[in-house]
């Protein structure tokens, strides 16, 4: 089975190739004219489906997309769907992380709960699509630690852990991550949609 992955985020492509082992995953590099799909929905599931549908229509192939983000309790679930552009410029991980730490500066340890959420979607050119969700609960620490992963990983410590997800070997993060959970669930329902 071959699916086009609707992302230009290299960190995600790497993670998804590991998680969807056994399925041929191709990125958008071979489709230079693929549309840049604006994430205009207010939910992770809505955005994931929007992207998968647009890329399936453009490529004529089954397409897989995700939308994910960090939901911080003390910020009423934000940055949420705005995680990638929290500080203004899409994908500026360092600025996003610094802004979030500044916003939480006065929030005590007991109220720094957060979770990563991921919606993974598959769509085929006719329009049919399905979504699977995954999440991982944890807390936001005071200062970044670790060099692995991407995005907010250096400031997120999963429940029951002392390391940040940026301090974990990739396979260990995949086993518990929101994206790992969502895509393992999606892998099970992929054949129902792709035939
Ligand atoms: P595409 O839209 O091209 O797939 P993106 O980086 O914009 O790539 P999202 O819209 O899903 O992806 O935004 C997710 C943002 O949420 C991402 O930029 C990170 O800031 C954060 N995020 C999501 N999953 C994460 C993870 O596993 N570790 C750290 N940060 C994560």
166 closest CA partner among 105, 93, 104? 93
Q: Is it the case that residue 1 has pLDDT exceeding 90?
A: no
Residue 142 designated active-site: no
Using DSSP, state whether 16 is helix, strand or coil.
Answer: helix
Which ligand 1 atom sits nearest the alpha carbon of residue 93? 20
Residue 98's contacts (CB-CB under 8 Å, 6 or more residues apart) are 87
Q: What is the mean pLDDT of the chain?
A: 93
Q: Whole-model pTM?
A: 0.92
| Domains along the chain with CATH numbers | 2-194 (3.90.950.10)
Query: What's the maximum distance between 2 C-alpha atoms anywhere in the chain?
Result: 52
Give the Å distance between the CA of 109 and the centre of ligand 1: 24
| Protein residue with least CA distance to atom 22, ligand 1 | 69
**Cβ of 69 less than 6 Å from ligand 1:** yes
**Cβ of 51 less than 6 Å from ligand 1:** no
Which ligand 1 atom sits nearest the alpha carbon of residue 86? 20
Q: What pLDDT, in 10s, does the model give residues 121-178? A: 999 998 789 999 999 999 999 999 999 999 999 999 999 999 999 999 998 998 999 9
**Cβ of 79 less than 6 Å from ligand 1:** no
Look at residue 147 in the predicted model and tell me its pLDDT: 96
């Amino acid at each position: 089975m071959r699916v086009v992955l609707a992302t230009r985020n290299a960190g995600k492509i790497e993670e998804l190739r590991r998680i969807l082992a056994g399925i041929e995953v191709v990125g958008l590099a071979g489709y230079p004219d693929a549309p840049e799909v604006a994430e205009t929905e207010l939910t992770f599931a809505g955005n994931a489906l929007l992207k998968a549908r647009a890329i399936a229509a453009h490529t004529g192939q089954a397409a897989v997309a995700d939308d994910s983000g960090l939901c911080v309790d003390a910020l009423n679930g934000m940055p949420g769907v705005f995680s990638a552009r929290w500080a203004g410029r899409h994908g500026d991980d360092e600025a996003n992380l610094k802004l979030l730490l500044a916003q939480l500066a006065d929030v005590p340890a007991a109220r720094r709960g957060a979770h990563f959420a991921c919606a993974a979607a598959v769509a085929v050119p006719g329009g049919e699509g399905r979504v699977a969700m995954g999440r991982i609960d944890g807390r936001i620490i005071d200062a970044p630690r670790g060099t692995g992963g991407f995005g907010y990983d250096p400031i997120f410590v999963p429940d029951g852990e002392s390391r940040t997800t940026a301090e974990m070997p990739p396979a260990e993060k995949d086993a518990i991550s929101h994206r790992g959970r969502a895509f393992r669930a999606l892998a099970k329902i992929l054949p129902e949609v792709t035939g």
